[in-house]
Structure 1
Amino acid sequence: MDGNDLKMSGKCPVMHGSNTEMGKDVMEWWPNALNLDILHQHDTKTNPLGKDFNYREEVKKLDFEALKNDLRALINDSQDWWPGDWGSYIGMMGRVSWHTAGSYRNTDGRGGGNTGNQRFAPLNSWPDNVNTDKGRRLLWPIKKKYGNKISWADLLMLAGTIAYEQAGLPVYGFAFGREDIWHPEKDIYWGEEKEWLAPSDTRYGDVKDAHTLENPLAAVQMGLIYVNPEGVNGKPDPLATAQHMRETFARMGMNDEETVALTAGGHTVGKCHGNGDVDDLSPDPETAGPEFQGLGWMNTKGRGIGRDTMVSGLEGAWTTNPTKWDNGFFEMLFNHEWELRKSPAGAWQWEPVEIAEADKPADVEDPSIRHNPMMTDADMALKMDPIYREISLRFKEDFDAFTDAFARAWFKLTHRDMGPKSVFLGPDVPEEDLIWQDPIPEGTTDYDIGALKRKIAASGLSISEMVSTAWDSARTFRGSDRRGGANGARIRLAPQKDWVGNEPERLAKVLSVLEPLAAEAGASVADTIVLAGNVGVELSAKAAGFDVEVPFAPGRGDATQEMTDVEGFEVLEPIHDGYRNWVKKDYVVSTEELMLDRTQLMGLTAPEMTVLVGGMRVMGTNYGEAKHGVFTRREGALTTDFFTTLTDMGYKWLPKENGLYDIVDRKTGETSYTATRVDLVFGSNSILRAYSEVYAQDDNAEKFVNDFVAAWVKVMNADRFDLS
């Protein structure tokens, strides 16, 4: 086809947004196929800074005080294109940080501010994040100035912290060290709704019972950070809202006192914006045309700035002095009676029945004009819910207690997803060890590793017992918020020692052997558990004909029960483990999808997942010693038998009940093995089969062992941030 043919056909020779000739991607054509995209998140090919860039080293070169001074200047330098309320960006920057950090949920550790993800869809275009794009654009000159020495993730968190400092809050502290991502986290599950702000009912078993909120979600509606400011499904009812607040904030790891402090402290500064018509706004940033240059929600008919700004639809400030850190929120809330009214934009809000002119906040542009304050349904919940009310009244009478509670809760909000204190950088890292940071004492390296390995090997523990215990200890790690992992040996403490998935009886037996060996050698139990797993892998490789030494880095410490937030760790309990072929009960989500989710949280790739599953099966590490997927006659040896059996057309695969399958010899008709869906997906999924075929090749037995060892070490060291 030549140029004239193209011109005559009227068709563009360039593919339009698809990887198939017919205009749809693979998942559109086959929606029930196993989507491995979640394992390809944050591919290094998308990082423009290159694989050798080390942000943790770059940020150490930063002039921290100069950066903070520039932020202080920005906060007090109102720009004509987007003027600050009362000439200040205190409220704006507080909201930018809040809404960046506020997407965190402790159910799976995803969301939050540790990656700068608010720059990308869907978060940059969530209805609740209206005009945070303006805040990020205001910060651009500072990002431009300091370049690679400050990540967007750190800058977005620091901006709100400095804003509160400028308002008068004694800041508890701040840590640098968040690294930016470079494309959307499109595979995070934010809910099944197909429209913004769809009624909450779809994500609750019963919307009247907040505890029935679907896991792993935390926000009450698609596109919101927390709760609907107008009430559940937009219907004002402070007591109903209180129930949803309690559940939503709990899923962020916050208790009642922290919830009250954050709500009141967040509304001590700034205001809501609803003095306009939502229909006059341009589309969100992801939808807006190129002329908007990445900005959304611009007013297309009126001023759309200053007193005429449109954001949430609610209109007004909460306090008399909205740029000052004071106790004005509680005084305003409890010193007045409130009634429901509609904002200029038509949103439900609470306004005082009667208020003195002097107590009203000033207009954002003209200080001679005063407007009614307002409260959201969540604010009224602090007054009407008995538990919240008691805490609120205590804070009202004790401003210092409120200040301390908010400063600490703000620090937790903006640092919750960073991980342990050991990764915190900068001059303002607090000295105090906080229990939500999962503190771990420093471990020792001064012991004879070889001697300890020999004693473990002679201990009588089986390969399966050693490998399974080490795996169970390490598998809790999730890269989303850097929690869990083998360091600390919390598998021997409550609640982990009692988790069903850890097989408490088997675990107790193994620990009873390893703990005395650790004490005798002067090693930590954490190191000894991992070392035992390594010994098991080495023995298994030797049984397959390969002498390998699994790399080991000593230095893990042992946490104590007092250092362990039992309730906080409950969210890490595994309810499935495809690597050990176990699921606690039947779920709506398939077992193979559950495995992908766990794999992504552990930071593993699809090839690493494949080699680990194949190796774990032949070593006999299935939960409860089940034989599903153990496609070998040499159980305990690190062979490629899982893959050679899976790809052998001498077998046929027959479904049974409860998601199980028989692997039947075609010649004899006898059942040779049994399998689960997780086992067979490595032969049925085209991508995973391609990996399986690599390891089934006759020339790749040694490669398989080496690849297994590399992936194993990655899991064992995932939480060793001192090695990064």
Structure 2
Amino acid sequence: MNEMSVKTGGKCPVMHGSATSSTSTSNKSWWPDALNVEILHQHGARSNPMDPDFNYREALKTLDFDALKADVNALMTDSQSWWPADWGHYGGLMIRMSWHSAGTYRTSDGRGGASTGNLRFAPLNSWPDNGNLDKARRLLWPIKKKYGNAVSWADLIVLAGTIAYENMGLKTFGFGFGREDIWAPEIDINWGEEKEWLAPSENRYANLEDAETLGPNLAAVHMGLIYVNPEGVNGHPDPARTAQHIRVTFERMAMDDEETAALTAGGHTVGKAHGNGDAGALGAEPEGGEVQDQGFGWMNPNTTGKASGHITSGIEGAWTTNPIKFDMGYFDMLFGHEWELTESPAGAKQWKPVSIKNEDMPIDTDDGTTRTMPMMTDADMAMKVDPIYREICERFMADEAYFRDTFARAWFKLTHRDMGPKVNYIGPDVPSEDLIWQDPIPAGSTSYDVSSVKAKIAATDLTPVDMITTAWDSARTYRGSDKRGGANGARIRFAPQRTWEANEPARLDRVLSVLDPIAKETGASIADVIILAGNVGVETVAKAGGFNVDFPFTPGRGDATEAMTDAESFEPLEPLADGFRNYAKAQFAGSADAMFLDRAQLLGLTAPELVVLLGGMRVIGANYGDVKHGVFTDREGTLSTDYFVNLTDMSNTWHPVSDDMYEIRDRQSGAVKWTATRADLVFGSNSILRAYAEVYAQDDNKEKFAKDFVAAWNKVMMADRFDVS
């Protein structure tokens, strides 16, 4: 479902935008503030055309990697008449496709990125910044068709850019296959609240003069852009100002200053920008086109059938003398000339050399003889004007090998950042080197006696709640968006996690001081012991409820060290709210119920799993700080269906006492029976969540509740076990 179908009406993708108008009559249109439970249902079996037993990792084992790479290499110089290649080489186009697929990643929630093949769907397939990437995917289609299920679109899109660089002279750092396709748009990603493409940046910043005030969970400066406006902040050229926005944008995409400078230079060492014509004549983007357009967007009725007639960004020209060779030409051009403002034929603001020798100008894309004026964007000029970026570029210019290696590593990081640990990489070109941003974890032991460890845990003075909350806090950091966090590695022992308010540091220290000696004594990892302790706690409260649960456990988690832990990069994983433990950080402002669903979605939970876990955690008494909100039971510490029974009991009434606090009172006497937060009452107010809650409130589903709780609990504990098939 796409509620943002737009026709750009022939407007230049970078220079202009168009307001959206929705004629949708979806539930979200009628009730815009309704909780979006659908994010827990996306990418389900009903949308997936593959057989239920299809396993992409197994399919990759049948792939002829060398043949695939040879075919992609051959594509680079196989120019097609329906979309001619610049200088007969598709390298620049393929790199831009890979880059824009990967470049949507943001560290705040791990969403975006290239690991799902989401560039095929709206809104990304129709973003102004992704103009004409529909052609790149169509050029790849014969290769995808040939290799079929053995290679995903997600892998092929990233591979195409990597092969393009190799074809043009770069020794890349490596490549890992293993990205699995989705089959529908990712509705869980908040790209911004604007209803207009490329709306003014003020909509995203508390203060546009302070780039750090860019809204949370955002990285790009405009709706519909990947990074920054190439013409300057809000289209006003000012390289020094642009540099500040570049720094924040790339930082939010997991890149430091050196990586940012390397990516800018290496990205613009090859290829060109396209704006040689009347941008107003362009047709609609792919999602807004007519049926006969067959998903082709930005049709240009004035094209001459030559590459020089393409219009994409509205900016026109190449950055280097030889745009189909990876060399030092970008630095030669940028630092070897003085620059002045000008405009492209499409009216976009760009920079040109004040003076330049004819032989230093790039050759025309079509005739092979005529020289054309090179250009720089405001973002390029920022590399020269900003003192930090300039110093980095000067180091690169002094050492070409250093630049090539830095760029190759940054490109690898850009295109693999959201794949998680290296165990998820497949193929012959996976680098052997462990990189800290891959969150490396050594293999853990599987040879210890699990039953003996459990017995030792049970014999301690830890309460079931101590065990359950510590295991939960260790595991809940997992993000399926970029496969970071989780219990494997036991990084809850280190900064910053050990001092997070949500992890109750005093309790955490006490529990770890008891569990660590057990790990040392038995040979189990502390990561395994933490999860085993949680299981022991659940088994204890389940037994109190009359349930003898069959609890699964898979040993083998490893223990990371502080040296393996990039502490700063874990800061965004801090839980600002966790509805499962009825926690919200004091200074955090936001909808508790919406944040609850967001946390559940990142954990990979379905709506029924969310409901059963919440109800179980409440009656167990696992709330943060042992508060009693939502503990709808008179037998706290017992796994039971009491939460759902009392939530749906019509002998109760519900009364707000503050913005996020409610009282549950007896309907007849008015006596207060319990207190609750929004994260509790949403399970009775939201029609979808209430339907699930009613299932567990039924008299005949007590056994089902216990079984489902254990299954959902184990799913969270195992979420990051990529080493287990």
3-state DSSP of counterpart to 1:350: strand
Report the alpha carbon displacement of residue 138 of structure 1 after superposing the two structures with TM: 0.3
Partner of 1:309: 310
Q: Does the CA-based 8 Å contact 1:304-1:310 persist in structure 2?
A: no
Report whether the alignment pairs 1:325 with 2:326. yes
Cα separation, partners in 2 of 1:660 and 1:28, compared to 1, 3 Å: same
- Which contiguous aligned blocks of 4+ residues in structure 1 show a shift greater than 4 angstroms? none
Once the two structures are superposed, what CA deviation does each residue of 1:155-177 show, in whole Å capped at 9, x if it has no partner?
Answer: 00000000000110011100001
Moved more, 578-587 or 363-372: 578-587
Report the alpha carbon displacement of residue 44 of structure 1 after superposing the two structures with TM: 1.5
Report whether the alignment pairs 1:489 with 2:484. no
| Partner Cα distance (2:444, 2:101) in 1 | 34
Identity %: 66
Partner of 1:561: 562
Report the alpha carbon displacement of residue 628 of structure 1 after superposing the two structures with TM: 0.2
Moved more, 663-672 or 712-721: 663-672
| Partner Cα distance (1:221, 1:705) in 2 | 47
| Partner Cα distance (1:567, 1:32) in 2 | 34
| Partner Cα distance (2:319, 2:94) in 1 | 17
Moved more, 310-319 or 33-42: 33-42
Report the alpha carbon displacement of residue 666 of structure 1 after superposing the two structures with TM: 2.1
Cα separation, partners in 2 of 1:305 and 1:605, compared to 1, 3 Å: farther
Once the two structures are superposed, what CA deviation does each residue of 1:99-121 show, in whole Å capped at 9, x if it has no partner?
Answer: 11111111111111101100000
Partner of 2:172: 171
Report the alpha carbon displacement of residue 549 of structure 1 after superposing the two structures with TM: 3.0
Report the alpha carbon displacement of residue 222 of structure 1 after superposing the two structures with TM: 0.2
Q: Does the CA-based 8 Å contact 2:81-2:305 persist in structure 1?
A: no
| Partner Cα distance (2:452, 2:148) in 1 | 50
Report whether the alignment pairs 1:510 with 2:511. yes
Report the alpha carbon displacement of residue 627 of structure 1 after superposing the two structures with TM: 0.4
| Partner Cα distance (1:466, 1:330) in 2 | 57
Once the two structures are superposed, what CA deviation does each residue of 1:643-700 show, in whole Å capped at 9, x if it has no partner?
Answer: 1110111111111024101111123321111000110111111111111111111111
Q: Does the CA-based 8 Å contact 2:175-2:431 persist in structure 1?
A: yes
Partner of 1:380: 381
Report whether the alignment pairs 1:707 with 2:695. no
| Partner Cα distance (1:62, 1:518) in 2 | 42
Once the two structures are superposed, what CA deviation does each residue of 1:343-387 show, in whole Å capped at 9, x if it has no partner?
Answer: 111000010000000000000001210011100111000001010
Q: Does the CA-based 8 Å contact 1:39-1:600 persist in structure 2?
A: yes
Moved more, 31-40 or 514-523: 31-40
| Partner Cα distance (1:108, 1:310) in 2 | 34
Once the two structures are superposed, what CA deviation does each residue of 1:56-107 show, in whole Å capped at 9, x if it has no partner?
Answer: 1111111101100101110011111111100001111111101111111111
3-state DSSP of counterpart to 1:61: coil
Report the alpha carbon displacement of residue 517 of structure 1 after superposing the two structures with TM: 0.7
Q: Does the CA-based 8 Å contact 1:682-1:688 persist in structure 2?
A: yes
Partner of 2:78: 77
Partner of 1:722: 723
| Partner Cα distance (1:585, 1:241) in 2 | 34
Partner of 2:8: none
Report the alpha carbon displacement of residue 701 of structure 1 after superposing the two structures with TM: 1.0
Alignment of 1:253-402 (within 5 A): 253-303=254-304, 305-402=306-403
Partner of 2:468: 467
Partner of 1:521: 522
Report whether the alignment pairs 1:676 with 2:711. no
| Partner Cα distance (1:79, 1:24) in 2 | 42
Amino acid at match of 1:512: S
Q: Does the CA-based 8 Å contact 2:82-2:305 persist in structure 1?
A: no
Report whether the alignment pairs 1:123 with 2:124. yes
Q: 5+ unaligned residues in a row in structure 1: which ranges? A: 1-21
| Partner Cα distance (2:271, 2:61) in 1 | 33
Alpha-carbon RMSD across the aligned residues, in angstroms, is 1.0
Partner of 1:598: 599
3-state DSSP of counterpart to 1:663: strand
Q: Does the CA-based 8 Å contact 1:581-1:623 persist in structure 2?
A: yes
| Partner Cα distance (2:235, 2:76) in 1 | 33
Once the two structures are superposed, what CA deviation does each residue of 1:509-540 show, in whole Å capped at 9, x if it has no partner?
Answer: 00000000111111000000000000000000
3-state DSSP of counterpart to 1:407: helix
Taking CA–CA contacts closer than 8 Å with sequence separation of 6 or more, which of the two structures ends up with the larger relative contact order?
A: 2
| Partner Cα distance (1:203, 1:607) in 2 | 35
3-state DSSP of counterpart to 1:286: helix
3-state DSSP of counterpart to 1:417: helix
Partner of 1:47: 48
| Partner Cα distance (1:642, 1:442) in 2 | 40
Amino acid at match of 1:368: T
Once the two structures are superposed, what CA deviation does each residue of 1:285-325 show, in whole Å capped at 9, x if it has no partner?
Answer: 00111111111011023326411110101100000000001
Report whether the alignment pairs 1:205 with 2:215. no
Q: Does the CA-based 8 Å contact 1:276-1:304 persist in structure 2?
A: no
Once the two structures are superposed, what CA deviation does each residue of 1:422-481 show, in whole Å capped at 9, x if it has no partner?
Answer: 010000000000000000000011111101111111111111110000000000001011
Report whether the alignment pairs 1:610 with 2:608. no
Q: Does the CA-based 8 Å contact 2:211-2:248 persist in structure 1?
A: yes
| Partner Cα distance (1:467, 1:371) in 2 | 67
Amino acid at match of 1:599: A
| Partner Cα distance (1:396, 1:73) in 2 | 32
| Partner Cα distance (1:698, 1:290) in 2 | 53
Amino acid at match of 1:635: E
Cα separation, partners in 2 of 1:211 and 1:399, compared to 1, 3 Å: same
Report the alpha carbon displacement of residue 24 of structure 1 after superposing the two structures with TM: 2.1
Report the alpha carbon displacement of residue 186 of structure 1 after superposing the two structures with TM: 2.6
| Partner Cα distance (1:489, 1:587) in 2 | 26
Q: Does the CA-based 8 Å contact 2:307-2:366 persist in structure 1?
A: yes
Report the alpha carbon displacement of residue 626 of structure 1 after superposing the two structures with TM: 0.5
| Partner Cα distance (1:574, 1:367) in 2 | 57
| Partner Cα distance (2:200, 2:514) in 1 | 54
Q: Does the CA-based 8 Å contact 1:44-1:50 persist in structure 2?
A: no
Report the alpha carbon displacement of residue 707 of structure 1 after superposing the two structures with TM: 0.3
Report whether the alignment pairs 1:435 with 2:436. yes
Report the alpha carbon displacement of residue 23 of structure 1 after superposing the two structures with TM: 7.6
| Partner Cα distance (2:294, 2:586) in 1 | 49
Partner of 2:455: 454
3-state DSSP of counterpart to 2:88: coil
Report the alpha carbon displacement of residue 339 of structure 1 after superposing the two structures with TM: 0.5
3-state DSSP of counterpart to 1:312: coil
Moved more, 528-537 or 684-693: 684-693
Amino acid at match of 2:637: G
Q: 5+ unaligned residues in a row in structure 2: which ranges? A: 1-22
Partner of 2:230: 229
Moved more, 653-662 or 148-157: 653-662
Alignment of 1:545-556 (within 5 A): 545-556=546-557
Partner of 1:7: none
Q: Does the CA-based 8 Å contact 1:298-1:304 persist in structure 2?
A: no
Aligned residues: 703
Amino acid at match of 2:355: E
Report the alpha carbon displacement of residue 546 of structure 1 after superposing the two structures with TM: 0.9
Report the alpha carbon displacement of residue 587 of structure 1 after superposing the two structures with TM: 4.8
Q: Does the CA-based 8 Å contact 1:275-1:343 persist in structure 2?
A: yes
Partner of 2:646: 645
Partner of 2:4: none
3-state DSSP of counterpart to 2:391: helix
Amino acid at match of 2:715: K
| Partner Cα distance (2:588, 2:507) in 1 | 26
Report the alpha carbon displacement of residue 588 of structure 1 after superposing the two structures with TM: 4.9
Q: Does the CA-based 8 Å contact 1:94-1:164 persist in structure 2?
A: yes
Q: Does the CA-based 8 Å contact 1:218-1:226 persist in structure 2?
A: yes
| Partner Cα distance (2:250, 2:25) in 1 | 39
Report whether the alignment pairs 1:138 with 2:134. no
